[in-house]
Structure 1
Amino acid sequence: MSGRRRLVAVVAASALAFTVTACGGSSAAEDAADGTSVTYLTSFGTFGRDSYVYVALEKGYFREAGLDVTVKPGTGTVDVMKLIGSGQADYGTGDLSGVITTMANEPIPVRAVAAIHQRSMAGIASLDKAIDSPEKLAGTTIADSSGSTNMIIFPAYATAAGIDPATVTFVPSSPQSLPQLLAAGSVDAIGQFAAGKPLLEKAAGGKSVTMLPYADKLPDLYGNGLLVSAAKLDSDREEVEKFTEALVKGLVYAVEHPEEAAQLLKKHDRTADETVAAAELTEMRPYVLGDGGSAGTLDRARMERMITLLAGTGTLKSTPSADDLGAYDITTP
């Protein structure tokens, strides 16, 4: 069975039911010691939204694929791309808008082979419905990390929403400071991913967080994607197919079983808040499953539309081709 047909079968089975029992005795991670060793980087740190890789690890999906996977916290899309491109990591996750922007300005030999999020989770977060419609963004101050996906995409979102992006001021801030800046009222809003809503509400002492998801106005945007080096894709396509299948299986299970996934995350990061982690996965579920049955899939036509949209923001020094960015026959139904 080809990789893409295997993936479709895995997603269908995952969405219906899983009969694998909970972990007990020796872990799947321990049992994988005889497999091919590979390294995977999370998108950024260790949050509930990244716990699907630990599900794939602990449920034995990687072991079944003959892989011994070491998971390391990533530090953002560009760093993940550079580490994979230089051979210091085998796989990782990064925001596909960030991948396009980076490749346009600084070509790195990586390729996307799956979409973790069928819709972008990027957006604007405010407290207590202060900004509950795009029209209320005019004249506001928004904190976000310099060069973030939220900041890069914002002009396209603002244009699609019918507002002037020049009426909004972005304040460069460290990612770690964003929840506190919002909670303290130091800014009107912050750039944030939809899955980060539970963490923001915890930082704000239980105040409600209102999200303006970019996907509401820009439905063609993917969110995070699974990345691999161009060299590995060329030299070991079978491994790439097996890794992708196992990871997507863990992804679907995680969003269908958020509480259990949070528990598995806790095994690998004792500082994780299980309640927040489970809530993040619940928020992430519709972004992963899309319109149903499409988890993991990556489409060339949509990637081409993303490139065109981002080129229209004026942030790209060149326009990369879709084939320079991804492989579309690993996960396409």
Structure 2
Amino acid sequence: MRRLTRTVAAAALATALTLVSACTGSDAEEAKGGEGGALEKVTYLTSFGNFGRDSYAWVAKEKGYFKDAGFDVEIKPGQGTGGVIQTIVGGQAQFGPIDLTGGLLQFGNGQAKDFVAVAAIQQRTMAAIATTEDKQIATPKDLEGKTLADAPGSVVRNLFPTYARMAGIDHTKVTWVNGAPQTLMGTLAGGKVDGIGQFVVGQPTIESVTKKKAVMLPYSNVMQDLYGNVLITSAQIAKEKPEMVKRFSGALLKGLEYALANPQEAAEILKKNVDATITAAAAAELQLMAGYVRSGNTGTVLGTLDSGRVAKTIAILQGAGALKENINPEQIIDFDLAPKA
């Protein structure tokens, strides 16, 4: 009798343990990513505020691309190249886009270190001076004697002396004042400045805010072969977690590809997360950006970086006297982690 009692008790215990195990497994599955591991928390910075040009990160989150790659991503607005680098190197964020030329200037002049680029977002620079037609600025020469606004760490501002030299104007005759990403267009609309640092794709948003026709002076008109934004991370993360970096950049680029193919939906996703979004302008920004991401190179894999092109950029900056130190592409780009052409 005692043997039967012990047998029944053992069976009951086994059943209970099975039920507990099943419940625990079910709960655990909800906290797992697409590869079966717990989601890794990551902070991602946009390049400069929250505009249509950066909506692809929100798309990657909304569509589950980040989750499928094993990430729980918090997206925060960036403050331009210098600010993004500082925040990532300081450990407050893990990934974010910067203008590659701006990054070269920061690195080559000893203003920043310990970061690396791991994928291209745009194959051509989108840096530009933006104004409105009532300001009577139609050519670079018209900028002399004018006042421009931008964030101190912005690539547009930091690259301006080189742009001015190559455009044949005196950069010392142009006055710069500080401005935050979220206030620049309002500052231009209010007539407080003559122009602002901006990406060329910002034209639709500028026109929505200012109610005037925008005039853009793209840096690419006088500076060829410059890349636009690139995805960066800290040198430490790139060294210690290379596979994690590849998974993240892959998910982000998937979001970029979807956003370019579906600009209206991407703009609506951005609006859902950033209430101040002007949906029509955000969609128009993405449509304009498509040509810079692909740059006419049909068949080119999204995100690729070419060492020879980066070397040309460095040569341009050195020739213009914009770099204090001699640098090479491998110091700022991890080509082993970048997508292969």
Q: TM-score, normalised by structure 2?
A: 0.80
Moved more, 175-184 or 273-282: 175-184
Q: Counterpart of 2:328?
A: 321
Does 1 or 2 have the higher relative contact order (CA < 8 Å, sep 6+)?
Answer: 1
| 1:310 partnered with 2:317 | yes
C-alpha distance in 1, partners of 2:58/2:191?
35
Asked whether the equivalents of residues 116 and 296 of structure 1 are also in contact (C-alpha less than 8 Å), the reply is yes
Amino acid aligned to 2:120: A
C-alpha distance in 2, partners of 1:136/1:30?
57
Which SS does the other structure have where 2:224 is aligned?
coil
* Deviation, structure 1 residue 153: 2.0
Amino acid aligned to 2:155: T
* Deviation, structure 1 residue 251: 0.8
Distance 1:142 1:83, change over 3 A: closer
Give the counterpart of 1:202 among 204, 208, 215. Answer: 208
Q: TM-score, normalised by structure 1?
A: 0.82
* Deviation, structure 1 residue 147: 4.6
Asked whether the equivalents of residues 112 and 327 of structure 1 are also in contact (C-alpha less than 8 Å), the reply is yes
Gaps of 5+ in 1: 1-28
C-alpha distance in 1, partners of 2:172/2:325?
27
| 1:178 partnered with 2:184 | yes
* Deviation, structure 1 residue 57: 1.2
Asked whether the equivalents of residues 62 and 269 of structure 2 are also in contact (C-alpha less than 8 Å), the reply is yes
Moved more, 106-115 or 180-189: 180-189
Distance 1:239 1:167, change over 3 A: closer
Moved more, 97-106 or 127-136: 127-136
Moved more, 107-116 or 131-140: 131-140
Asked whether the equivalents of residues 153 and 313 of structure 1 are also in contact (C-alpha less than 8 Å), the reply is no
Identity of aligned residues (%): 43
* Deviation, structure 1 residue 223: 1.4
| Cα-to-partner distance string for 1:67-102 (whole Å, 9 max, x where unaligned) | 222222222222321222233322111121221122
* Deviation, structure 1 residue 31: 8.2
| 1:44 partnered with 2:48 | yes
Amino acid aligned to 1:303: V
| 1:233 partnered with 2:238 | yes
C-alpha distance in 1, partners of 2:146/2:276?
34
C-alpha distance in 2, partners of 1:76/1:143?
13
C-alpha distance in 2, partners of 1:177/1:313?
31
Please list, as runs of the form range in 1=range in 2, the aligned pairs for 1:9-158 lying within 5 A after superposition: 32=33, 34-104=38-108, 105-128=110-133, 130-158=136-164
* Deviation, structure 1 residue 213: 0.8
Distance 1:266 1:303, change over 3 A: same
* Deviation, structure 1 residue 215: 1.1
Which SS does the other structure have where 1:69 is aligned?
strand
Please tell me the root mean square deviation across aligned C-alpha atoms, in Å.
2.4
List structure 1 runs of 4+ shifted beyond 6 angstroms. none
Amino acid aligned to 1:312: G
* Deviation, structure 1 residue 122: 0.7
